[in-house]
Chains A and B, each alone.
Chain A
Amino acid sequence: MKEFLLLLRESTDLTQMTPEEMQADMQAHLQWMEELVQKGHFKAGNPLDTEGRHIRGTNRLVTDGPYVESKECISGFYFLLASSLEEATTIASGCPALNNGGMVEIREVIETHAAEG
């Protein structure tokens, strides 16, 4: 099994959702995750706070960010277990965040202790 990092990027304006819609969205996520757990694909996952900092350059310039409004903002991550990038892609395609205009990025985690194969 290989390990994959899923980065979720969302710009959904939650303030426009009704309580019932929010609950439905949450249950869809939990349902999706429940299936991953049962099939042994789930390793970890967490949301990220909307507040953060950017640090750039040799002078360590600190700015506020990320910007929640922009599509580039990462809202959370998952670590999944899959046999290949193709399988990880299939799994990630089921992520409910995609139903609300979100984007999922899939990257394989390089196992640095393993021998190059």
Chain B
Amino acid sequence: MQQKDNQLEKLTAHLFRENAGKMAAVLSRRFGLEQLDTILDCIQDTFEAALTRWRYGNVPDNPAAWLMTVSRNKLINALKRNARMNLEETITTQETTTQPDFVIDEQHILDSQLRLLLACCQPVISEKNQIILTLHILCGFGLPEIANALRMQQETVKKSLTRSKALLRQQPLQQLTQASPIDGDRLPLVLTILYLLFNEGYKTTRKAKGIDPDLCYEAIRLTRIVFDTVTINREQTAALLALQFLTLSRFPARLTDAGEWLSLEEQNRDLWDQRMITEGFFYLRKATQGKQISRYHFEALISSIHCCAKMFGDTDWPSIVMLYRQLEQLHPEDASLTLNRIIAGSYYSDPLDCLHELNGTASLHQIPGFLLEAARGHLLQRAGLYADAANAYLLAKSLAQSPVDQCFLEKKIKACG
């Protein structure tokens, strides 16, 4: 009888998905982004070969290395077949498919992923399309998974990818090969996309498990790559990581089993993930070692204050309000910061004063109607004006798009009855 034990243990979670990104990064760095389509085809072929062989119980001892070697061999063969490139120039004599192992050190893989991430995050591509492209190429997400995670039509995702990949192919090879791929100007762009990718995962989560938290985990994985490979502005990257971990720590408590939102006030804080909180504070300490301060710093600090409060009533609201005020100064264009600051203020000052400020702040008109009305309802409720509060919640509910938001508001209306 053949010995077939421990086959499953060789496979880590998301092995294929994660290695799709690593292979794309290493191969596009070596052979150029103009070969991107061929590279992605070869990666898919490699997975098919792995699926066919491994499921009969012959998983190699180092699956990631097998995938890397096979995809590289398939690519070299495909490029030779296509004969679109001058082989003597690009493929060295030692570099043939008969080379037994294609061993690449971790640092090279990390570095390649950073370079590909930089290529994906560039202003010629819209922010939304940068997210889609990053998810596809660096995170190994397929079309249905991206469409599901970002609540888009699969056809729209496909069109976006076709456009973005065409733009990527035009990137000179040099960008992926130069010694120092990143400078102080490029980093903020990359961090913005990783911040948005995380937020997409956070705001679209409809279940505690499944694809949605995966976006958040992918954002963290990529942000860690930036932290591990980029030596400039590390405090800013650390602050983003701190923010991501601290926010993610509340995931287990954020939804009921039926998929309904729970506010911070309603959440069972015992469910907050202490490992994530510890990780968050680790990066928060790294973030505050220099003089740099960024949006991520303030947001991470606000999140850390919530994580420190044993009960909702223990929350240090004055500090949160102070941090929001600094964020407002840093980003005067973002009205949601003002709204959040007013709500935070209502927990320790006169809610009617807060309502007065809410009504008198013109910039808040940019806020989606249902959020603004929900905030109005909240302030009225805190002031004890329950009938008015119920009306505001009712209006908010009529403006809300998602069933989860509507359900949340329905509960609020009932509470005011």
List chain A positions with a Cβ less than 8 A from chain B. 14-15, 17-23, 25-27, 29-31, 33-34, 37, 40, 42-47, 75-76
Contact = CB atoms under 8 A, between A and B. Distances in A.
B144 A18 contact: yes
17 contacts: A15-B44, A17-B142, A21-B142, A22-B47, A23-B15, A26-B11, A27-B11, A33-B4, A33-B57, A34-B5, A34-B8, A43-B2, A45-B57, A46-B56, A47-B53, A75-B52, A76-B52
Contact of A26 (B17, B51, B142, B144): B51
Contact of A23 (B5, B16, B48): B16
Interface in B6-64: 7-8, 11, 14-17, 19-20, 44, 47-48, 50-57, 59
Contacts of B103: none
A72 to B, nearest CB: 18
Q: Which A-B residue pairs are the 5 nearest by beta carbons?
A: A18-B142, A29-B55, A19-B16, A23-B16, A14-B48
Contacts of B141: 18, 20
Contacts of B17: 18-20, 23
Contacts of B345: none
B interface secondary structure, majority: helix
> Could you tell me the dominant secondary structure of chain A's interface residues?
helix
Given A18-B141, A23-B16, A37-B1, 18 more contacts: A15-B44, A17-B51, A18-B17, A19-B19, A19-B140, A19-B142, A20-B140, A22-B16, A22-B48, A22-B51, A23-B11, A25-B51, A31-B8, A33-B7, A40-B1, A43-B2, A45-B56, A47-B55
Given A20-B17, A25-B51, A44-B2, A33 B140 contact: no
Interface string B136-180: 000011111100000000000000000000000000000000000
A75 B55 CA distance: 12
Nearest to A23: B16
A21 to B, nearest CB: 7
Contacts of B51: 14, 17, 22, 25-26
A37 to B, nearest CB: 5
A44 B3 CA distance: 10
A21 B44 CA distance: 12
Contact of B55 (A15, A21, A26, A40): A26
Interface residues of B, number: 31
A14 B19 CA distance: 18
Interface of B: 1-2, 4-5, 7-8, 11, 14-17, 19-20, 44, 47-48, 50-57, 59, 140-145
Contact of B145 (A20, A30, A33, A44): A20
Contacts of A37: 1, 4-5
A22 B14 CA distance: 10
A49 B51 CA distance: 13
A42 B1 contact: yes
Nearest to A32: B55
Nearest to A97: B55
Nearest to A43: B1
B47 A30 contact: no
A15 B51 CA distance: 12
Nearest to A76: B56
B47 A34 contact: no
B50 to A, nearest CB: 7
Looking at B53, B54, B55, B56, which has the most chain A CB atoms within 10 Å of its CB?
B55
A19 B40 CA distance: 12
A69 to B, nearest CB: 15
Contacts of A21: 142
Contact of B2 (A15, A26, A27, A42): A42
A17 B17 CA distance: 12
Contacts of B8: 27, 30-31, 34
A30 B14 contact: no
Contacts of A18: 17, 140-145
A17 B57 CA distance: 20
B270 to A, nearest CB: 32
Contact of B7 (A34, A46, A75): A34
Contacts of A30: 7-8, 11, 54-55, 57, 59
A24 to B, nearest CB: 9
A20 B55 contact: no
